[in-house]
Amino acid sequence: MSITDELRKEARGFGRYVYTAPQADCLTAIADRIDAEHEAACAEAYGNGVMSVPIALDESAWVELPKDADGVPIHVGDVLDGYGKTIEVVEMRYGRSGWVLISRDGSGYADTFAFAHHAHTVEDVLREFSDKVCNSGHQWGLDAADTIAEYAAKLRLAGDGE
């Protein structure tokens, strides 16, 4: 049971004290604010490259995620450039030597600082578009309009002013 759950239980009158409705509402509001602050702090920490991971006996610990050459945290699913190639991170392992990134082809990379997050190019967007259209069973004229609109928002013609 969390501390805020204990506070809510106390507010309902299951503890040693009896509270009036306004007092109980005040305690419940405090518990809600504590939970909201905690969630916001966790989200901010995750955005800054810190992640909560389960460890033995249902305890948890905070583990700092690996960072790329620019100091940006790396997450599973990120696309990175390094060593003259582009990889997609499908797994991350942490061991005695530190972080290892596993790419889609099964290769492992321990030197995360040698990679940088991939900046999408026009070619990447067109490749995604063609893959989605060719592999999704679209029936042109019936349901392709949503896909076209989605990718048109990502692309702008040079000199178009948009």
Per-residue pLDDT of the chain in tens (162 residues, 90 and over written 9): 678 888 788 777 765 666 777 887 888 888 889 888 888 887 777 777 776 655 544 445 667 889 999 999 999 989 999 989 899 999 999 878 889 999 999 999 988 889 999 887 777 777 777 777 776 665 555 566 677 777 777 776 555 554
Domain shared by 103 and 148, yes or no: no
Task: Report the CATH number that the domain containing residue 104 is assigned in CATH.
Answer: 2.30.30
Q: pLDDT value at position 60?
A: 56
The total of structural domains in the chain comes to 3
| CA pair distance 115, 78, nearest whole angstrom | 11
Which residue range forms the structural domain that includes residue 43? 3-47
Q: pLDDT value at position 144?
A: 67
Residue 159 belongs to some domain of the structure: no
| CA pair distance 153, 117, nearest whole angstrom | 22
Dihedrals phi, psi of 40, to nearest 5 degrees: -65, -40
Full-model pTM: 0.48
Q: pLDDT value at position 87?
A: 92
Residue 84 belongs to some domain of the structure: yes
Q: pLDDT value at position 28?
A: 85
| CA pair distance 34, 125, nearest whole angstrom | 42
Q: Which residues, including other chains, have CB under 8 Å from residue 22's CB and lie 6 or more apart?
A: none
Q: pLDDT value at position 51?
A: 67
